[in-house]
Amino acid sequence: MNHFCGSSMQAIQMAAGAISMGAGEAYICAGIESMTRVPMMGFNPMLNPTLAAELPEAYISMGDTAEILVDRYKLSRGEQDSFALGSHQKASMAQESGKLSQEIIAVRNDRGALIEQDGCIRGSSTLEALSELTPAFKEGGCVTAANASPLTDGASAVIVCSAAFAREQQLDILAKIRAIAVTGCAPEVMGIGPVAATHKALKRAGITLDDLDVIELNEAFASQALACIRDLKLDQGKLNLDGGAIAIGHPLGATGARITGKAAQLLKREQGRFALATQCIGAGQGIATILEAYE
């Protein structure tokens, strides 16, 4: 899928900084991932021997970090499956109503077939069906293929530019960047990265969680999303309105694109003022962007 809705959040931040410093007026920020062709750790990961010996957690699998959060936050299998089902249901409704069409550019696959929709959304899933799946990462665990984001391919791009450039080129302005933040955390609990990053970004923006109208939180795993929701006390009525990565997919390099662009689109669609786009990053990071409606 090609989503013309966002880019890596790091690229957005660099572009925003470059614009503010007068280094340029317009940047195309983009990200891509082909996870079905090169699954995580599919090639020789080339571990740094010193780091691997001194901090083996730096190379922990993402699935294992999700199970750590299950234990730390005492999350039940039912909670995770229910969250995953909700993501699929919201994405399915958005897809059926045409709300996703404006953010997708159709592409042809290697057989010449036109792909116009995301292929991972399962709106007809049930809790009973989800409960039958076996744990994927830990014997006796509860993180499964159903309550984790699927392996997907994706690409995304966004234009980050000055208001003057957007007006000159007659571009549809979705939102403006109010604040950005990146933080670190322990690699074995990388899923809670958005917590500190969000607090930092909100402080820089001079607003609180209550001021947010739209929240896009990446769903690498249901346990990861639920841990962040609990720590941040997020209003789930504002969260991932059209579903999240558990339903749509999490192509790593393109995910910041999708959620940041999505947050901007939703902010305009819902006529809100502030939006948060945030995600965790493997090896122990969190990143967050606060968007503000453009007037």
CA dist 104 → 6, 172, 186, 230 (Å): 11, 16, 35, 31
CA distance 48 to 201: 32
Say whether 228 is catalytic.
no
Catalytic hit among 3, 88, 199, 250:
250
CA distance 158 to 7: 6
CA dist 28 → 48, 159, 161, 178, 257 (Å): 33, 5, 9, 19, 11
Say whether 5 is catalytic.
yes
- Integer-rounded Cα radius of gyration of the chain: 19
The candidate with the shortest Cα–Cα distance to 60, out of 206, 212, 188, 209, is 188
- Partnered with residue 156 across adjacent β-strands are 3, 31
Say whether 199 is catalytic.
no
- What b/e readout covers 139-164, taking b as 16+ CB neighbours within 10 angstroms? eebbbbebbbbbbbbbbbbbbbbeee
CA distance 247 to 118: 9
Burial of 45 (0-12, 13-18, 19+ CB in 10 A): exposed
Catalytic hit among 3, 5, 161, 199:
5
Q: Catalytic positions, please?
A: 5, 250, 280
